[in-house]
Amino acid sequence: MGMGEKRKGADWERAAAWLFYVSVFLECVIVVIDKSNYINPVEGQLFRLTFLLLTGKVLLTKYSKKEWMAAGLFGAFGFLSYKATGRNEILRIVVFLAAYKNMDGKKVLKCAFYTTFVGCALLAALSVTGIYGVLALESDFGRGYLQTRYCLGLGHPNALHCMFMMLALLGLYLYNEKMKWYFYLILLGMNYGLYLLTDSNTGTIVAFLGIAGAALMHYWKGLAERKWVYWLGAALFLACVFFSVLAADERFAKPSNYWFENRFVASVETHLNGRVKELYYGSIERHGTTATWSLFSKPENNRYFDMGFVRLFYWYGIVPGTVYIILYILLLCQCAKKKDGMGLVMAVAFAIYTIVEAHLVSVYIGRNYILFLMGMYMSDMLRLRSD
């Protein structure tokens, strides 16, 4: 290959990378707008734009035969889901994961981190100064008494603490090796201070677990190289999924008189602030329970509720949900292979959070940092590197 051809090839690679970065930037901006009080009238058009940008990146990228076959298979899977449900998220995710090839994973995550951080900080500043957005909400919040909880322009107190948790864990993933001991204390202090404003139990607990896990990975030398810690993480992840499935099954939960005869579900529900009850008593048809699940879901399965893994199976179907669970396990295996301890911490923390909240199960790719990790490792996860 001559110098001119090499230069031309490098130019095409740079153009492809820019297409990907612009798409990630836009996906994160869409997430920030969604968290604000502004109703985005062009959200659908922006999703189409990011899809086209990612498609352009795919067309400018060289793949092995195995990678093309996998992309075609998953693409057909996404199209089947689209025809069954009317939802195009799986198609968009497939193109996103395919387009991730040859990208610097850490740089992409930094793009997502700083775009989202600046956007959320701007929303908070606008609300505090009274320029735009709601500073606090006064409501019952399902707890039986009136509360004032702060959201700082992010729509809901839980959403505020969720974004702190997501950004804190992503920041730790990017910079944990350089962290000093007092940075962990600062993050813990911020987490507690934010709890005083939001009273968000789940966000506070999961953020604490993530920060503590990051500190363990940093100071327990060799922990990231121990296989048992990844097996433990996989077991915790599967436990989160299994509980969600069982809680959504009427035969197991045994709902009765606005409560549950199953003592285990009843005991856990006392700490979930009505999440399980929402499935059984939030709609006449009991949307979200396993009786409303099907292999590839259906268009009328569009109700919103909090339990994330339940929403995964309800919105997209048993088959897509199972595929996602398998890919999640393969991701944890790849973290073990790469000794990516912070990848494990982030994946397990997000799994625990997804029992209660559905932040990662949405139409927004920019919300789900697990998809970014999958994009980084997908070819190795599926052993697609060679022809």
Which pLDDT band holds residue 5 (cuts at 50, 70, 90)? low
Q: What are the DSSP calls for 138-158, one per residue?
A: EE-TTTTS-EEEE-TTSSSHH
For 196-235, the pLDDT digits (tens) are: 999 999 999 999 999 999 999 999 999 999 999 999 999 9
For 244-300, the pLDDT digits (tens) are: 999 999 999 999 999 999 999 999 999 998 999 999 999 999 999 999 999 999 999
Angle at 17 (CA atoms; ends 11, 19), nearest 5 degrees: 105
Residue 342 in this model has a pLDDT that exceeds 90: yes
pLDDT in the model for residue 384: 83
Which pLDDT band holds residue 47 (cuts at 50, 70, 90)? very high
Which pLDDT band holds residue 6 (cuts at 50, 70, 90)? low
Contact yes or no for 354/240 (Cβ under 8 A): yes
Contact yes or no for 127/133 (Cβ under 8 A): yes
pLDDT in the model for residue 386: 56
pLDDT in the model for residue 12: 80
Residue 9 in this model has a pLDDT that exceeds 80: no
Residue 307 in this model has a pLDDT that exceeds 80: yes
Residue 301 in this model has a pLDDT that exceeds 90: yes
Contact yes or no for 337/224 (Cβ under 8 A): no
